[in-house]
Amino acid sequence: MDIKAGLLNNNKRAAARLITMLENGIEEALDIIKECYHLTGHARIVGITGPPGAGKSTVTDKLAKALRKEGLTVGIIAVDPTSPFTGGAILGDRVRMSDLSTDPGVFIRSMGTRGALGGLSKAAHGAVKVLDIFGMDYIFIETVGVGQSEVDIVKLADTVIMVMVPGLGDDIQAIKAGIMEIGDVFAVNKSDRDGAERTAAEIEAMLDFNKQEDYRPSVVNLIARDNVGVDKLLEAIENHRAYLDASGRYRSRKRDSLRTEVIEIFKENVIRSVARLEEDTNVLEELTESVLERRIDPYTAAARLMDSFTENGV
Amino acid sequence: MERPIRVVVAKPGLDGHDRGAKVVARALRDAGMEVIYTGLRQTPEQIVETAIQEDADCVAMSILSGAHNHLFPKVVQLLKEKEAEDILVVGGGVIPEDDIPGLLEAGISAIFTPGTPTTVTIDFIRENIRKK
Ligand SMILES: Nc1nc2c(ncn2[C@@H]2O[C@H](COP(=O)(O)OP(=O)(O)OP(=O)(O)O)[C@@H](O)[C@H]2O)c(=O)[nH]1
Ligand SMILES: [Mg+2]
Q: How confident is the model at residue A50, as a pLDDT? A: 87
Using CA atoms, how far apart are residues A131 and A121, in angstroms rounded to an integer? 15
Q: How confident is the model at residue A167, as a pLDDT? A: 82
The CATH 3.40.50.300 domain(s) of chain A lie at 38-247
CATH code (residue B43):
3.40.50.280
| A137 in Cβ contact with A107 (< 8 Å) | no
Q: How confident is the model at residue A1, as a pLDDT? A: 79
| A83 in contact with B, Cβ within 8 Å | yes
CB atoms A19 and B46 under 8 Å: no
Q: Using the mean position of ligand 2's atoms as its centre, give its distance from the Cα of residue A82 in Å.
A: 14
CB atoms A90 and B3 under 8 Å: no
Amino acid identity, residue B44?
P
Amino acid identity, residue A116?
A
CB atoms B37 and A90 under 8 Å: yes
| B121 in contact with A, Cβ within 8 Å | no
Whether B45 maps to a domain, the answer reads yes
Which of A244, A58, A29, A257 lies closest to A130 in space, CA to CA?
A: A29
Q: Using the mean position of ligand 2's atoms as its centre, give its distance from the Cα of residue B39 in Å.
A: 13
Nearest CA to ligand 1 atom 13: A55
Using CA atoms, how far apart are residues A49 and A27, in angstroms rounded to an integer? 31
- Which residue of A90, A95, A98, A271 to mutate against B (max B Cβ within 10 Å)? A90
Whether B17 maps to a domain, the answer reads yes
A189 Cβ below 6 A of ligand 1? yes
Share of chain B above pLDDT 90, in %: 74
Edge to edge, what strands does the sheet with B6-10 contain?
Answer: A89-91, B34-37, B6-10, B58-63, B88-93, B110-112
| A24 in contact with B, Cβ within 8 Å | yes
CB atoms B4 and A109 under 8 Å: no
Q: Using the mean position of ligand 2's atoms as its centre, give its distance from the Cα of residue A52 in Å.
A: 7
Using CA atoms, how far apart are residues B90 and B59, in angstroms rounded to an integer? 6
Reduce the secondary structure of chain B to three states and give it as a string.
Answer: CCCCCEEEEECECCCCCCHHHHHHHHHHHHCCCEEEECCCCECHHHHHHHHHHCCCCEEEEEECCCCHHHHHHHHHHHHHHCCCCCCEEEEEECCCHHHHHHHHHCCCCEEECCCCCHHHHHHHHHHHCCCC
* pLDDT averaged over every residue in chain B: 92
Q: How confident is the model at residue B1, as a pLDDT? A: 46
Which of A56, A21, A214 lies closest to A141 in space, CA to CA?
A: A56
A144 Cβ below 6 A of ligand 1? yes
Per-residue pLDDT of chain A (314 residues; tens, 9 = 90+): 799 999 999 999 999 999 999 988 888 999 999 999 999 999 999 999 888 899 999 999 999 999 999 999 999 999 988 888 888 999 999 999 999 999 999 999 999 987 655 566 778 889 999 999 999 999 999 988 666 656 676 678 999 999 999 986 655 665 556 667 788 999 999 999 999 999 899 889 888 877 677 899 999 999 999 999 999 999 999 999 999 999 999 999 899 889 988 998 898 888 888 888 888 888 999 999 999 999 999 999 999 998 887 776 65
- ipTM score here? 0.95
Confidence of residue B37 (pLDDT cuts 50, 70, 90): very high
| A42 in Cβ contact with A137 (< 8 Å) | yes
Chain A residues with CB under 8 Å of B1 CB are 24-25
Residue B65's domain comprises 6-130
Whether B107 maps to a domain, the answer reads yes
Whether B1 maps to a domain, the answer reads no
Listed range (B1-15, B20-34, B40-54) with the worst mean pLDDT: B1-15
What is the total count of domains within chain B?
Answer: 1
Which of A188, A94, A93, A184 lies closest to A143 in space, CA to CA?
A: A93
Nearest CA in chain B to A24: B3
| Alpha-carbon distances of B14 from A236, B11, B91, rounded to whole Å | 39, 9, 16
Class of domain A38-247: alpha beta
